[in-house]
Structure 1
Amino acid sequence: MKILYVYQTLARYGGVERVLVDKMNYLTSHYGYEVYILTRDQGSHQIPFPLDERVHYDDLGIRLHTQYAYKGLRRLLTKIKLQCLYEYRVSKEIKEIKPDIIIGTDVMPARSLLRHKGKAKLIIESHSMYRMTYAEPTKNPIKLFLNIMAFRAYRKADMLVSLTEGDANDWKNNNHNKRVCVIPNVVNLNTTGRFSDLSQKNVIFVGRFAKLKGIPYLMEIWKRVQVRHPDWTLNIYGDGEDKEKYADIISSLNIIVHQPTKNIHEEYCKNSIFLLTSISESFSLVIPEAMSCGLPVVSFDCPYGPRDIITEGKDGFLVPQYDVDAFADRVCYLIENKNIRLQMGMAALTSSQRYAAEIVMPQWKKLFESILE
């Protein structure tokens, strides 16, 4: 079986990039599929995660982002030129590869893949949720038209794969997709052989300093926790465009900010509770990552990932969205009750195994075989 992935770039240390590489490696090494990956804008950047040498990789060399070096009419003309170049090159590659299945994500131009896929089946992966891609408001008539056309194309895909039940229902009910299934992400689970003993007076947050990660709520929560437990520390692993905005408040609290790391499981093991304050999540890879190190989780019940992963009161707590007082109370409850922490940490460790490649990838194999029948 020939599987072709089409994506924008594998240059970032991002969750989607890690998931795609892990899946391609597994399909090649365990099922013997002939796997190809085409990127659009990779340029000279190295792929940050190890890609199996049997995976066929090529970059189309479009570099669509270069349009933003210009303004006005020149930017528009550059965009049209690059889009036409993309259409030509992706069509040429598809004709040469002759894939059985093409997989794109919701950030890729689904209309182009539909036009050029030939006899191949098209699968779209929803990594950013219906409500974050389709429902994003815009008054620009060109963008509005392109959105409408793109999501009309999504309805024509042979399958749309969502990460959560909530997102799948949005696609079915709001975009009227008739072919939708749910397959969760493969998660990079803890393989260090070490787990947190939950005795450290440390709490961990992993995420970008960005609006969607709910950083203002995190700051307010920690203010409340620190009043009751001034000997505990919040460790933040992340970077981002808003980092400097919070420098003053961070310096006034017991918070340490660390750079993102490849060895995040080692850092989870130095902490006792994991926090997630996101406004929305398509899945939230960091929750089962932290769980696999034995950490109980406290998270806002945001759409949609946390509710699919956390079992309330068993391996973590789901807090009503934006209720910082209730969130802080849950954190303090875990701080004050080590036996509960230990019970929930053990349950979290077991729960995280649902997202191991050995559990998730057979679902992809079954999907591939079913749409080729």
Structure 2
Amino acid sequence: MKICFLIHSRYGIGGVISSTARLASALSARHDVEVVSLHRDRDTADIRLDPAVRAVDLLDWRPTAADCAADDPLSAEPPRLFPAKDGGRTKQNSRLVEVRLARYLAATDADVVIATHPGIGVVLGKLPGDFLKIAQIHQASNTLFADQRRGFEQSPAGLDAMVSVNSEDSENLRRFFPWVDWKITAIPNCVEPAAIAPSDTTGHTLIAAGRLEHRKHYDELLRAFDQATADLPEWRLRIYGRGDQKAKLAQLIKERSLEERVLLMGATSHMDMEWPKAAIAVSASSTECLPMNLIEAMSAGVPVVSADCDYGPREIITDGEDGILVPIRDVDAMAGALLKLMTNPELRAKMGAAAQSASRRYLPSVIASRWEALLTQLAGARTVHTAADVVSNPGGDLHVELPQDMDHPGLQLRCVARTGSHAAAMVDYAFLPTDGTTRRLRATIPARDTQLGEGQWSMTVHSPVDDVQRLLRCHSYDNRFQAEADQPLPGDGFRYRLAFPNDDNSLVLHVWDRPRHAEARMIKRDDEGFTTQFEMWGAQFSAAARVLAVARVDGTPSFEVPLLTQGERYGEFTVPYAVAAQSRLAEHDVWDLHVDPGTDELIPIGRFFGDFPQVKQVYDYAPQVLDEPTEAAGRWLFLNKHQDVPAAVRVRPFFTVNRTLALNAVVLKAQ
């Protein structure tokens, strides 16, 4: 199998670079492995790759390079595929990066491509390719930028898997992306066994390592160390790393007269040689997905004191056995834990031995085997049939059919909520053989089934055997009986549902489930106004029934119009355009139309029956322009210092994206 890793740059020092290098080296024992660096800005890399791993650089920024990226005009153009906000990599992203990456992926013969940064993962999901596509997430999910999350959501079928390095955080990713076509799982990064003898924990040195940035809270660590060593002057603290907090930390060290006992060591690519010098490793971070520095310390036989932040430390450390966890941002607790280990050499030795033993689960051979198992599973998942035939019968049952699949027994139709208060909920329906001759499987959502609440549900096929969930593609749909539907599903209130392919051909089930509903049957318009005929479900009219126009600007009714009722369920009303024009006080006003059946309850008027979802685009009503300036229009113009400009008002009824009836009025200023 040929495996390709995409990394922003291998020319630097960092957890992602070193973790990728280790995994690539481990996999190269049995596979053809390539590491593709999007950027190169220096002659040599700080972290060397195994000779069996090929290195490829897409953009070379060295001024002496024959094809210097800075000379290409595309390097100055903004990206089209990368998230607008992509963390510290935002400034590096450009159209040139996208073009070069697309060109590489179009030519590669890789079986698997793994993106090691969220932004690269977003681009990978949007570009074509027959290889397995995997986004590896090295950071905590709660630190993903909104644009990064939105980028992933825009390509729900663009990836085969998203792999977090932390099992607890992978659950959060499942909640973020419940309806996508990817397997979301967790595989931690790997750590090489110590190259030199482990620590004997008898020394008097604490070591902290990582980027000097705010979330690491080195300032609080300094205070905790100062407090814990008030009577232990022989202890020293070394801090390895670089970052924008260095000057602040240097000043704090001077203020506390700790120049001899707290040392800022700078960055190094040889931390494996430094950890054995420590008696205790320490971290005060407030967020860590999988802190590799702590695993490296444990591999060197060093016990760890760490803030119990989300999510990594508690996955790595067994509190009281191979380290100590303390509450985040708690200087006193950190100082107490440090003091406990500083004053108890026997406990340090015991925890150090346990830490080294626990770190073996992160050995490259162990992690490589987990990756191989995942890749085999994902390759098999691509054989799951996803081209579905959907049939809605006259009674309201919804049937979903697939070819029979002998390789994936026990398949389920899994509906995953995309919207609504039940978002992230999942409901399963079993696929069963239709008969003994057609070799077809059918899952049925009965007409009376009420498990699916109002909202949009992605329709997926779930294989319990290998825990794979894939978006169903529309092979065909037959909803002819819904073209002239005039009745909701059986039961109380109003329930209606419509299965339809999205723009990407994935199947989405639209569900409406309301105790009361006013269904617009017909809208007629003339030069004076528009008339709406509707039917009420779940409520009956009283003599006090009325229609109200509720302004979006403040959520209060702006005007009401008379309601002509026909029996207890049928109603008709007319909205004069002039009334809407006279009721507005802003340049552009919008009102949502509601029925009050006489109970002071506002029931939206909508159009839910039918065989297509895009009601807003299909029902497109012509606007009416009131040529004479209205009193309200004149009042708005006066308030906005346009009192000398005559104006007309354009009024138009329309259906919203939520299929409810609304009305807008816009001032047309003279040119």
> Are the equivalent residues in 2 in contact too, given 1:42–1:59 (CA < 8 A)?
yes
Q: Which structure's residues are more often helix, by fraction?
A: 1
Name the residue aligned to 2:127. Answer: 116
Whether 1:166 aligns to 2:184 is no
Task: Please point out which of 239, 243, 246 is paired with 1:243.
Answer: 246
Matched, 1:53 2:51: yes
Moved more, 301-310 or 242-251: 242-251
Task: Classify 1:98/1:289 alpha carbon distance in 2 versus 1 (closer, same or farther; 3 Å).
Answer: same
Secondary structure of 2:324's aligned partner: strand
Q: Does 1:148 pair with 2:150?
A: yes
**Amino acid across the alignment from 1:212:** R
Find the aligned partners of 1:20 and 1:288 in 2 and give their Cα distance.
15
Query: Whole-Å Cα distance in 2 between the matches of residues 172 and 45 of structure 1?
Result: 41
Does residue 34 (structure 1) correspond to residue 40 (structure 2)? The answer is: no
Partner-residue secondary structure (3-state), 1:50? coil
Relative to its length, the structure with more strand (as a share) is 2
Q: Which residue of 2 aligns with 1:180?
A: 184
Alignment partner of 1:189 out of 173, 186, 193? 193
Aligned residues: 352
Please say if residues 75 and 94 of structure 2, whose CA atoms lie closer than 8 Å, have aligned partners that are also in contact: no
Residue 44 (structure 1) shift: 3.7
- What are the Cα deviations for residues 83-120 of structure 1, in whole angstroms up to 9, with x where unaligned? 43333322222222222111112333334323334211
Equivalent runs, 1:86-97 vs 2, <5 Å: 86-97=97-108
Shift of the 350–226 alpha-carbon distance from structure 1 to 2, 3 Å rule, reads: same
TM-score (norm 1): 0.87
CA–CA distance in 2 between the matches of 1:189 and 1:209? 26
Q: 2:207 aligns with which of 182, 193, 204?
A: 204
Choose which of 326, 329, 335 in structure 2 pairs with 1:319: 326
Deviation by residue 1:200-243 (Cα, 9 ceiling, x = unmatched): 12211112221121112112211211224222111222222211
Measured after TM superposition, the shift of residue 62 of structure 1 is: 7.1
For 2:237, what is the secondary structure of its paired residue?
strand
Alpha-carbon contact 2:126-2:155 (below 8 Å) kept? no
Higher RCO structure (Cα 8 Å, ≥6 apart): 1
1:168-317 alignment runs, 5 A limit? 168-176=170-178, 179-192=183-196, 194-251=197-254, 252-253=257-258, 254-317=261-324
1:6-50 CA deviation, whole Å, 9 max, x = no partner?
A: 22111111111011112112222x11x222222222244422222
Q: Say whether the 8 Å CA contact 1:204–1:234 is kept in structure 2.
A: yes
Q: Does the Cα contact within 8 Å between 2:163 and 2:185 map onto a contact in 1?
A: yes
**One-letter code aligned to 1:53:** P
- Residue identity matched to 1:78: E
Q: Which has the larger radius of gyration?
A: 2
Distance 1:107 1:160 in 2: 10
In 1, Cα distance between equivalents of 2:350 and 2:308: 21
Q: Which moved more, 1:222-231 or 1:6-15?
A: 222-231
* Counterparts in 2 of 1:134 and 1:293: CA distance versus 1, 3 Å: same
Q: 2 CA distance for matches of 1:313 and 1:152?
A: 44
The residue aligned with 2:404 is none
The 8 Å contact of residues 43 and 59 in structure 1, kept in 2 or not, is answered as no
Asked if structure 1 preserves the Cα contact closer than 8 Å seen for 2:205 and 2:238, the reply is: yes
- Root mean square deviation, CA, Å: 2.4
Gaps of 5+ in 2: 62-69, 81-92, 381-671
Of all paired residues, the percent bearing the same amino acid is 28
Which residue of 2 is the match for residue 17 of structure 1? Answer: 17
1:349 aligns with 2:356: yes
TM-score relative to the length of structure 2: 0.50
**CA–CA separation in structure 1 for the residues paired with 2:237 and 2:37:** 38
CA contact (8 A) 1:36 1:56 kept: yes
Instruction: Report the secondary structure of 1:39's partner residue.
Output: strand
